[in-house]
Structure 1
Amino acid sequence: MKRTLMLAAAFSLAAIVGPMAAQAAEPIEGNWKTESGETAAIGKCGDGFCITLKTGKFSGRQIGKLSGAGSEYTGEITDPEADKTYSGSGSVSGNSLKMKGCVLKILCKSQTWTRL
Protein backbone atom coordinates (compact mmCIF):
# COMPACT_ATOMS: atom_id res chain seq x y z
CA MET A 1 0.00 0.00 0.00
CA LYS A 2 2.80 2.42 0.94
CA ARG A 3 4.66 1.59 -2.25
CA THR A 4 1.57 2.33 -4.37
CA LEU A 5 1.08 5.68 -2.63
CA MET A 6 4.74 6.60 -3.09
CA LEU A 7 4.62 5.73 -6.80
CA ALA A 8 1.41 7.73 -7.25
CA ALA A 9 2.99 10.73 -5.51
CA ALA A 10 6.13 10.46 -7.66
CA PHE A 11 4.09 10.33 -10.88
CA SER A 12 1.97 13.28 -9.76
CA LEU A 13 5.07 15.34 -8.99
CA ALA A 14 6.62 14.44 -12.35
CA ALA A 15 3.41 15.48 -14.13
CA ILE A 16 3.53 18.87 -12.42
CA VAL A 17 7.27 19.58 -12.65
CA GLY A 18 7.78 18.19 -16.17
CA PRO A 19 5.73 20.82 -18.05
CA MET A 20 7.14 23.65 -15.90
CA ALA A 21 10.70 22.59 -16.71
CA ALA A 22 9.88 22.43 -20.43
CA GLN A 23 8.30 25.90 -20.31
CA ALA A 24 11.38 27.57 -18.90
CA ALA A 25 13.70 26.03 -21.49
CA GLU A 26 12.43 27.78 -24.67
CA PRO A 27 12.87 31.59 -24.59
CA ILE A 28 11.61 33.58 -27.60
CA GLU A 29 13.92 36.55 -27.04
CA GLY A 30 16.81 36.98 -29.44
CA ASN A 31 17.64 37.46 -33.10
CA TRP A 32 15.97 35.29 -35.73
CA LYS A 33 16.47 34.77 -39.47
CA THR A 34 13.11 34.84 -41.27
CA GLU A 35 12.25 32.59 -44.21
CA SER A 36 12.74 35.56 -46.57
CA GLY A 37 16.28 36.12 -45.23
CA GLU A 38 15.74 39.22 -43.06
CA THR A 39 16.80 39.42 -39.44
CA ALA A 40 14.11 40.01 -36.81
CA ALA A 41 14.80 40.87 -33.20
CA ILE A 42 12.40 39.76 -30.49
CA GLY A 43 12.68 41.48 -27.15
CA LYS A 44 10.70 42.46 -24.06
CA CYS A 45 8.26 45.35 -24.44
CA GLY A 46 5.53 46.16 -21.96
CA ASP A 47 3.95 42.92 -20.79
CA GLY A 48 4.98 40.93 -23.86
CA PHE A 49 7.53 40.61 -26.64
CA CYS A 50 7.88 42.89 -29.68
CA ILE A 51 9.11 41.68 -33.06
CA THR A 52 11.13 44.27 -34.99
CA LEU A 53 12.74 43.79 -38.39
CA LYS A 54 16.46 44.65 -38.31
CA THR A 55 17.32 44.20 -42.00
CA GLY A 56 15.61 44.43 -45.36
CA LYS A 57 13.12 46.81 -46.96
CA PHE A 58 11.16 47.27 -43.72
CA SER A 59 14.14 47.55 -41.36
CA GLY A 60 13.20 49.19 -38.05
CA ARG A 61 9.50 48.38 -38.37
CA GLN A 62 7.73 46.55 -35.55
CA ILE A 63 5.81 43.67 -37.13
CA GLY A 64 4.32 41.95 -34.13
CA LYS A 65 3.65 41.66 -30.46
CA LEU A 66 3.30 38.35 -28.66
CA SER A 67 2.72 37.36 -25.07
CA GLY A 68 3.19 34.05 -23.33
CA ALA A 69 5.83 32.03 -21.59
CA GLY A 70 7.78 28.85 -22.03
CA SER A 71 7.65 27.91 -25.70
CA GLU A 72 4.12 29.05 -26.68
CA TYR A 73 3.23 32.65 -27.52
CA THR A 74 0.15 34.39 -28.98
CA GLY A 75 -0.67 37.88 -30.19
CA GLU A 76 -0.60 39.78 -33.48
CA ILE A 77 1.66 39.56 -36.54
CA THR A 78 1.81 42.15 -39.35
CA ASP A 79 2.71 41.31 -42.93
CA PRO A 80 4.79 44.43 -43.74
CA GLU A 81 4.45 43.98 -47.52
CA ALA A 82 0.62 43.96 -47.42
CA ASP A 83 0.45 46.13 -44.25
CA LYS A 84 -2.17 43.77 -42.78
CA THR A 85 -2.26 42.51 -39.21
CA TYR A 86 -3.36 38.98 -38.29
CA SER A 87 -3.87 37.00 -35.13
CA GLY A 88 -0.63 35.17 -34.63
CA SER A 89 1.30 32.68 -32.63
CA GLY A 90 4.84 31.53 -32.16
CA SER A 91 6.16 28.20 -30.96
CA VAL A 92 9.83 27.81 -30.01
CA SER A 93 11.61 24.48 -30.31
CA GLY A 94 15.36 24.69 -29.79
CA ASN A 95 16.74 27.02 -32.47
CA SER A 96 13.51 27.08 -34.49
CA LEU A 97 10.56 29.42 -34.16
CA LYS A 98 7.37 28.48 -35.99
CA MET A 99 5.41 31.66 -36.66
CA LYS A 100 1.78 31.47 -37.70
CA GLY A 101 -0.64 34.19 -38.78
CA CYS A 102 -4.36 33.57 -39.28
CA VAL A 103 -7.50 35.30 -40.53
CA LEU A 104 -10.58 34.12 -38.60
CA LYS A 105 -8.49 31.18 -37.29
CA ILE A 106 -9.14 29.25 -40.52
CA LEU A 107 -6.92 30.81 -43.19
CA CYS A 108 -3.39 30.51 -41.85
CA LYS A 109 0.17 30.88 -43.13
CA SER A 110 3.23 29.60 -41.32
CA GLN A 111 6.94 30.30 -41.44
CA THR A 112 9.84 28.75 -39.60
CA TRP A 113 12.54 31.13 -38.40
CA THR A 114 16.03 30.13 -37.27
CA ARG A 115 17.81 31.52 -34.20
CA LEU A 116 20.97 33.45 -35.01
Structure 2
Amino acid sequence: MYRTLFMTAALALGVVGTAVAAEPIVGNWKTATGATAEIAPCGGAFCVTLKTGKHAGKRIGNLSGTDGSYSGEITDPETDKTYSGSGAVSGNSLKMKGCVLKILCKSQTWSRL
Protein backbone atom coordinates (compact mmCIF):
# COMPACT_ATOMS: atom_id res chain seq x y z
CA MET A 1 0.00 0.00 0.00
CA TYR A 2 2.74 2.49 0.93
CA ARG A 3 4.66 1.54 -2.19
CA THR A 4 1.65 2.31 -4.40
CA LEU A 5 1.09 5.61 -2.58
CA PHE A 6 4.77 6.52 -2.94
CA MET A 7 4.77 5.64 -6.68
CA THR A 8 1.60 7.69 -7.26
CA ALA A 9 3.08 10.69 -5.42
CA ALA A 10 6.36 10.42 -7.35
CA LEU A 11 4.53 10.29 -10.67
CA ALA A 12 2.37 13.27 -9.73
CA LEU A 13 5.41 15.31 -8.71
CA GLY A 14 7.17 14.38 -11.94
CA VAL A 15 4.27 15.58 -14.04
CA VAL A 16 3.97 18.83 -12.09
CA GLY A 17 7.72 19.42 -12.34
CA THR A 18 7.62 18.99 -16.10
CA ALA A 19 4.66 21.34 -16.50
CA VAL A 20 6.37 24.09 -14.48
CA ALA A 21 9.62 24.02 -16.46
CA ALA A 22 9.60 26.85 -19.00
CA GLU A 23 11.68 27.52 -22.05
CA PRO A 24 14.64 29.86 -21.38
CA ILE A 25 13.25 32.47 -23.80
CA VAL A 26 10.06 33.02 -21.77
CA GLY A 27 10.07 36.20 -19.69
CA ASN A 28 10.67 39.93 -19.85
CA TRP A 29 13.66 41.33 -21.74
CA LYS A 30 15.23 44.79 -22.05
CA THR A 31 15.66 45.51 -25.76
CA ALA A 32 18.53 47.42 -27.40
CA THR A 33 16.34 50.56 -27.38
CA GLY A 34 15.60 50.21 -23.66
CA ALA A 35 11.99 49.07 -24.07
CA THR A 36 10.66 45.99 -22.30
CA ALA A 37 9.60 43.05 -24.46
CA GLU A 38 7.63 40.13 -23.10
CA ILE A 39 8.16 36.72 -24.66
CA ALA A 40 5.39 34.26 -23.85
CA PRO A 41 4.00 30.98 -25.20
CA CYS A 42 1.26 31.44 -27.79
CA GLY A 43 -0.23 28.94 -30.22
CA GLY A 44 2.64 26.45 -30.04
CA ALA A 45 5.28 29.15 -30.49
CA PHE A 46 6.57 32.17 -28.56
CA CYS A 47 5.16 35.66 -29.19
CA VAL A 48 7.31 38.74 -28.67
CA THR A 49 5.27 41.77 -27.56
CA LEU A 50 6.57 45.20 -26.57
CA LYS A 51 5.32 46.21 -23.12
CA THR A 52 6.91 49.66 -22.80
CA GLY A 53 8.19 52.41 -25.06
CA LYS A 54 6.84 54.11 -28.16
CA HIS A 55 5.38 50.88 -29.57
CA ALA A 56 3.97 49.38 -26.34
CA GLY A 57 1.38 46.67 -27.05
CA LYS A 58 2.76 45.84 -30.49
CA ARG A 59 3.57 42.22 -31.30
CA ILE A 60 6.98 42.19 -32.99
CA GLY A 61 7.84 38.54 -33.28
CA ASN A 62 6.88 34.91 -33.46
CA LEU A 63 9.56 32.32 -32.71
CA SER A 64 9.58 28.53 -32.44
CA GLY A 65 12.19 26.25 -30.95
CA THR A 66 13.48 24.72 -27.74
CA ASP A 67 16.41 24.67 -25.35
CA GLY A 68 17.65 28.21 -26.02
CA SER A 69 17.60 28.18 -29.85
CA TYR A 70 14.66 29.72 -31.70
CA SER A 71 13.71 30.86 -35.21
CA GLY A 72 10.79 32.59 -36.88
CA GLU A 73 9.89 36.15 -37.81
CA ILE A 74 10.86 39.49 -36.29
CA THR A 75 9.19 42.81 -37.15
CA ASP A 76 10.97 46.17 -36.89
CA PRO A 77 8.37 48.28 -35.05
CA GLU A 78 9.68 51.52 -36.61
CA THR A 79 9.18 50.41 -40.23
CA ASP A 80 6.67 47.55 -39.84
CA LYS A 81 8.93 45.39 -42.02
CA THR A 82 9.13 41.71 -41.11
CA TYR A 83 12.32 39.67 -41.42
CA SER A 84 13.33 36.07 -40.90
CA GLY A 85 14.72 35.98 -37.42
CA SER A 86 16.32 33.94 -34.72
CA GLY A 87 17.02 34.12 -31.04
CA ALA A 88 19.61 32.40 -28.88
CA VAL A 89 19.52 32.46 -25.09
CA SER A 90 22.73 32.30 -23.12
CA GLY A 91 22.23 32.86 -19.40
CA ASN A 92 20.53 36.24 -19.00
CA SER A 93 21.28 37.37 -22.57
CA LEU A 94 19.17 36.91 -25.67
CA LYS A 95 20.85 37.50 -29.03
CA MET A 96 18.16 38.46 -31.54
CA LYS A 97 18.97 38.42 -35.24
CA GLY A 98 16.90 39.55 -38.22
CA CYS A 99 17.86 38.90 -41.85
CA VAL A 100 16.80 39.81 -45.36
CA LEU A 101 17.50 36.99 -47.83
CA LYS A 102 19.66 35.34 -45.13
CA ILE A 103 22.63 37.53 -46.14
CA LEU A 104 21.85 41.01 -44.84
CA CYS A 105 21.50 40.59 -41.08
CA LYS A 106 21.39 42.78 -37.99
CA SER A 107 21.79 41.55 -34.42
CA GLN A 108 20.86 42.92 -31.01
CA THR A 109 21.51 41.56 -27.55
CA TRP A 110 18.71 41.83 -25.03
CA SER A 111 19.04 41.42 -21.25
CA ARG A 112 16.69 39.49 -18.99
CA LEU A 113 14.76 41.68 -16.55
Pairwise TM-score range, normalised by the shorter structure:
0.7 to 0.9
Q: Normalization by structure 2: what TM-score?
A: 0.80
Q: Which structure 1 residue ranges, 4+ long, deviate > 3 Å from structure 2?
A: none
Structure 2 residue 97 is the aligned partner of structure 1 residue 107: no
Partner secondary structure for residue 57 of structure 1: coil
d(CA) in 2 for partners of 1:46 and 1:94? 25
* Counterpart residue number, 1:46: 43
Check whether the contact 1:25–1:70 (CA below 8 A) recurs between aligned residues: no
CA distance, structure 1, for counterparts of residue 94 and residue 22 of structure 2: 13
Matched with 1:60 is: 57
- Are the equivalent residues in 2 in contact too, given 1:32–1:113 (CA < 8 A)? yes
Give the secondary structure class of the aligned counterpart of 1:81: coil
- Note closer, same or farther for the CA distance 1:26–1:43 as it changes in structure 2 (3 Å cut): closer
Contact 1:26 1:92 in 2 (8 A): no
Unpaired stretches in structure 1, ≥5 consecutive residues: 1-23
TM-score (norm 1): 0.78
Which residue is 1:15 aligned to?
A: none
Q: Could you tell me whether the CA contact under 8 Å between 1:33 and 1:39 is conserved in 2?
A: yes
Matching residue of 1:34: 31
Q: Structure 2: which amino acid aligns with 1:33?
A: K
Q: Determine the structure 2 residue equivalent to 1:79.
A: 76
Name the residue aligned to 2:6: none
Structure 1 vs Structure 2 CA RMSD: 1.4
Percent identity between the two aligned chains: 75
| Counterpart among 61, 66, 71 of residue 69 in structure 1 | 66
Measure how far apart 1:27 and its partner are: 0.8
- Count of residue pairs brought into register by the alignment: 93
